Amino acid sequence: MTGYDSLLRGSIAALLAAAVLAAPVHAGAADGSKPAKQLFGAAALPAMLAPQPVGFYAKGCLAGGVALPADGPTWQVMRPSRNRNWGHPDLVALVERLSRDAAASDGWPGLLVGDMAQPRGGPMITGHASHQVGLDADIWLTPMPARTLSRQEREEVSATSMLKKDSLYVDPKIWTQARANLLMRAASYPEVQRIFIHPGIKKMLCDTWKGDRSDMGKLRPYWGHHYHFHIRIKCPPGATGCTPQADIGRGDGCDKSLAWWFTDEPWKPAKPDAKPKPKPREVMLSDLPAACSAVLDARSPASAAAATVRAGGVAAPAAPGAAAAISAMALAPSAIPVPTPRPANP
């Protein structure tokens, strides 16, 4: 761990030691009659609890989340109106580290950061099935410009697709070595569990990467993901309430499993059923781990600034005190949901 990372982790620890006595209460949040996505989508501030990812990436919530600042020396947060620049402290530290390392060594000027998690994680009203426990982050494959984007630009600017028009293959006129460097840099971090990318991007890396390929297997082909990549980190050490994803196994993934994506099977329309399927039931709070009710009802900090780690690793001022721990709550194991065919947003 570098000195900067130690400083950042220490700053986050100090930030999460903020008192809850003077903080507002997120009262009445755990209303079991509303869909979970509405409850978590309405939470504008995090739960002042010990940092803990609760449940599985696509079925859980986040205690003790902190915000990635909107601007840093080597990153800018996109789509700020969504309020999804939150995560577990380990994720925030990793995004900052990747931005710094890529700018210093990979020819990548800085990250444009897309969705991470909501302040308390949980299901989202739009956009993702995962990103629920504060361990996922979307990074654009568009480099950060040499100026600070306005808020309007951050809401309206579109990311750049890496593909040829109407094709599964990367456009060599758009693709650059710096993009390859960025992806392989992200995969090299031991805390990264996997990275979702478009099959065409995976193929480009398989065909052209000349460096160390020992982490190539972490790059997993998936629907979508041709204008951004999706980093997923492992459950942090000691996070007993976090349900890990299955290991990726051995191999670089540049084999028959990749070739499958370039057949008709992954892309052909689903066959119509003789009988229309019933509309999927909304996910309710009762469907999530029991601790998520406590996460919703926990106190909030006085403001988002009080739960934001300042660029450079210096925490925003916080009153003295101790945060409540949610990790002591018993979390019954739950079935890990299996994606339905052709999901667009993991």
**Residue carrying structure tokens 């009262």:** 27
CATH number at residue 169: 3.30.1380.10
pLDDT of residue 315: 38
pLDDT of residue 312: 52
Indicate whether 145 belongs to any domain.
Answer: yes
10-residue block means of pLDDT along the chain (346 residues)? 50 43 47 89 96 97 97 97 97 98 98 97 90 97 98 97 96 97 98 97 97 96 95 96 93 96 92 78 94 96 88 40 38 35 47
Indicate whether 323 belongs to any domain.
Answer: no
Number of domains in the chain: 1
Indicate whether 346 belongs to any domain.
Answer: no
Indicate whether 179 belongs to any domain.
Answer: yes
pLDDT of residue 139: 98
pLDDT of residue 175: 97
Indicate whether 73 belongs to any domain.
Answer: yes
pLDDT of residue 271: 80
pLDDT of residue 22: 36
pLDDT of residue 30: 64
pLDDT tens digit sequence for 77-113: 999 999 999 999 999 999 999 999 999 999 999 999 9
pLDDT of residue 160: 96
Domain boundaries, position 21: 3-315
